[in-house]
Amino acid sequence: MVEKTVTIKNRAGIHARPAALLVQTANRFSANIFLEKDGEKINGKSIMGILTLAATYNSPIKIIADGSDEEDALQTICRLFDTKFEEE
């Protein structure tokens, strides 16, 4: 299991488009992927779960990956946050 805390850098936060991009990316990996915010842990492969986090600008999010391709999954998902979900 690997984990990393990232900060949401895009001004709009995680709305429908970034949530869909996160789910699409997470589903490319066999590892289990979870996102955690304010003690709430959700499945990173569930768009409804991601939207319920209500993750806004500057919110810290812990990304947790567990499985055979966990390192690649974690790096790829962190890259989405670093590039502001390609929105700005």
Positions marked catalytic:
15
SS3 63: strand
- Per the structure block, which two tokens stand in for 5? 């805390």
Greatest alpha-carbon span in the chain: 33
- Total number of residues shown for the chain: 88
